[in-house]
Amino acid sequence: MRVVIAEDLALLRDGLVRMLTAYGFEVVAAVDDGAGLAEMLVATRPEVAVIDVRLPPTGTDEGIRAAIAARRAVPGLPVVILSQYVEQVYARELLSDRTGGIGYLLKDRVGEVRDFVEAVRRVAGGGTVMDPEVVAQLLDGGRLTHLADLTPREREVLAVMAEGRSNAAIAARLVITEKAVSKHINNIFTKLDLPPSDDDHRRVLAVLTYLGG
């Protein structure tokens, strides 16, 4: 599995290269800054990218902006954001794109190597991996209590939605019609208090609620 790593701390970057290589990944590039990162991701089209939010030259948000730009050029490009911070504005923009796998993990909460490697593999396979602290900062915590209001079938639909599946894929997995899936999703939005909004993507917020709950 081909992977690109973008991390400015040399020890961590080298550690990621060694760790992922040991677990069968092919590291096609390991860079220490954000200059040209988006273009490189588009050119190499890795099966997954592990990117720090804050990279030189400014040390602010080059990494996550490069990830967003690359996913616009290559829809579905799997990306794992690895950071010490939650950049809420950019995180919401990144997560609002439902194509392909997405992960957002905080460095100081990644404790087990196997868990991290599994998270990278899950994102490469089109899944979603979110640190609970990221979920807490992106969500109004009160929504978590509404999960109990969902019916068993609605929870099943939401669980498959959390894997990044389309309505058609959800219907195929649960052996129901797309019309039924649409109805269940609308019910989910209503019960989780997710009205239409120009700012918050309801599908993403519903998934974040599920992952956080």
What pLDDT digit, counting tens, does each position of 120-172 carry?
A: 998 999 887 877 666 666 655 455 557 778 888 998 888 888 766 788 989 99
What is the architecture, at CATH level 2, of domain 2-137? 3-Layer(aba) Sandwich (3.40)
pLDDT at 183 over 60: yes
CATH topology of domain 139-212: Arc Repressor Mutant, subunit A (1.10.10)
From 1-10, 49-58, 90-99, the region with the lowest mean pLDDT: 90-99
Contact 58, 14 (CB under 8 A): no
Most confident segment among 52-61, 109-118, 176-185: 176-185
Contact 17, 45 (CB under 8 A): no
Positive or negative: CA dihedral 29, 31, 34, 36: negative
DSSP-derived letter for residue 164 is: T
Chain region(s) in the chain for CATH 1.10.10.10:
139-212
DSSP-derived letter for residue 23 is: T
pLDDT at 212: 57
Chain region(s) in the chain for CATH 3.40.50.2300:
2-137
What pLDDT digit, counting tens, does each position of 184-195 carry?
A: 998 988 888 776
What pLDDT digit, counting tens, does each position of 55-103 carry?
A: 998 888 899 889 999 999 998 899 999 988 777 777 777 776 667 788 8
Q: Work out the number of other CB atoms within 10 angstroms of the CB of residue 7.
A: 23
DSSP-derived letter for residue 162 is: T
Q: Work out the number of other CB atoms within 10 angstroms of the CB of residue 156.
A: 16
What pLDDT digit, counting tens, does each position of 23-48 carry?
A: 999 999 999 999 899 999 999 999 99
pTM above 0.85, yes or no: no
Most confident segment among 14-23, 97-106, 199-208: 14-23
**What does R_g of the chain's alpha carbons equal in angstroms?**
17
Looking from the CA of 1 toward its CB, the CA atoms found within 13 Å total 22
Looking from the CA of 160 toward its CB, the CA atoms found within 13 Å total 20
